[in-house]
Structure formats: structure tokens, C-alpha cells
């Protein structure tokens, strides 16, 4: 049995928060997000706990608001550049929520989601940009329809609801690493 598309050299942590993509959908969008739990704190296990449905609501007051959510992303890139994959690329991760791109709703159906450990305001690290560029190239090898114009931020598909990856994300720097 095929266990899906897992990227080589990336630590696997399978999340239950995924399902099959609807038939006939071409994966042609890459969505960049940011996440930190609790907000503004880095280097702890709580992002994984959220994506695995085991976040303890008693650990931090903020967690009581989000512990019941069932969310995931395909990939997470930590501040040190290390990465882990929660969902095979050919499955639908639950990262975009209510979303629309170029008139197409339900972006989870046709996108890959990458979370950067960070916030809208904290500069991302050199290691994160390098790893993001490397993973983007690997993803593009599987999904050539993901061209630079189809790599966007969460804010672009959920305006007014989401702001990530935020003003701290250097799109020009990232795109130059893809050339």
C-alpha cells in the first residue's frame, strides 16, 4: 500500500488531521503560514501537540481556546531550520480554513501548507529561509504546477481573517532563493 508522498530527509510525525483530496483536483498552490504556541514563544513541543490533537488545555491559558481544534499542515519549519512533515503531500491537510484563491474556494483541496515557527513581527531565521527554499523545490518536483506566482501567504487566501506569514516575512529574499 502506498503511504503517500513524504519528503526525504524530513522527520515524519503523521497527523490524523487530514483526508483524501477531492477527485480531479490538481495540486497547484503553496501556502506559507506562521505559528507559535503560545503566541510569540518558540522551541517547545506544542505545535506538534496541536497537530496531533493532544494539546493540553491546562498547560497555558491560550491553549484552552484552541485545544479542541483539529488542524494540521503538511510541513513545519522550526527556527533552527529543522523540519517535520505531518501530512503526505498527496493528502489534504487542514491548514487554510475558509479560503479562496483566483475564484476557487476551499484551498485545502488543491494546496500544500507550510508552517514557519514564527510570528508576523519576528524576523524569520536564515535557516528557515534556506529550508523553505529547499522544501519548495522538492514540492515543485512533485507538483510542477506550483510556480512562483502560485506561492502565497495565508493572508492572501483568507484576507481579513489571517495575516500570516506577516510583515516580517521577506518575500523577495525567499523568491531569490528559488531562482
115 included as an active-site residue: yes
Could you tell me the end-to-end alpha-carbon distance of the chain, in angstroms, rounded to an integer?
36
Helix, strand, coil distribution of the chain in percent, nearest 5: 25, 20, 55
CA gap 53, 81 in Å, rounded = 24
The whole-angstrom separation of Cα 32 and Cα 120 is: 12
Please report the DSSP string for 163-179 in residue order. Answer: -TT-TT--HHHHHHHT-
How far, in Å, CA of 147 to CA of 8, rounded?
21
Catalytic residue among 115, 117, 121, 172: 115
Q: Which contacts qualify for 145-149: CB closer than 8 Å, 24 or more apart?
A: 145/26, 145/27, 145/28, 146/27, 146/28, 146/29, 146/30, 146/112, 148/175, 148/178
> Which residues have a catalytic role annotated?
115
Amino acid at each position: 500500500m502506498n503511504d503517500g508522498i513524504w519528503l526525504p530527509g524530513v522527520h515524519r510525525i503523521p497527523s490524523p488531521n487530514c483526508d483524501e483530496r477531492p477527485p480531479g483536483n490538481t495540486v497547484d498552490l503553496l501556502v506559507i503560514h506562521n505559528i507559535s504556541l503560545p503566541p510569540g514563544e518558540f522551541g517547545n513541543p506544542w505545535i506538534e501537540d496541536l497537530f496531533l490533537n493532544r494539546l493540553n488545555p491546562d498547560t497555558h491559558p491560550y491553549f484552552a481556546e484552541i485545544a479542541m481544534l483539529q488542524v494540521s499542515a503538511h510541513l513545519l519549519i522550526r527556527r533552527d531550520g529543522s523540519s517535520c512533515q505531518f501530512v503526505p503531500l498527496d493528502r489534504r491537510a487542514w491548514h487554510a480554513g475558509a479560503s479562496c484563491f483566483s475564484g476557487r474556494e476551499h484551498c485545502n483541496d488543491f494546496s500544500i501548507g507550510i508552517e514557519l515557527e514564527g510570528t508576523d513581527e519576528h524576523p524569520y531565521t536564515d535557516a528557515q529561509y534556506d529550508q523553505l527554499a529547499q522544501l519548495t523545490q522538492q514540492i515543485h518536483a512533485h507538483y510542477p504546477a506550483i510556480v512562483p506566482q502560485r506561492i502565497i501567504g495565508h493572508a492572501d487566501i483568507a484576507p481579513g481573517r489571517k495575516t500570516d506569514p506577516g510583515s516580517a516575512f521577506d518575500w523577495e529574499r525567499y523568491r531569490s532563493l528559488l531562482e
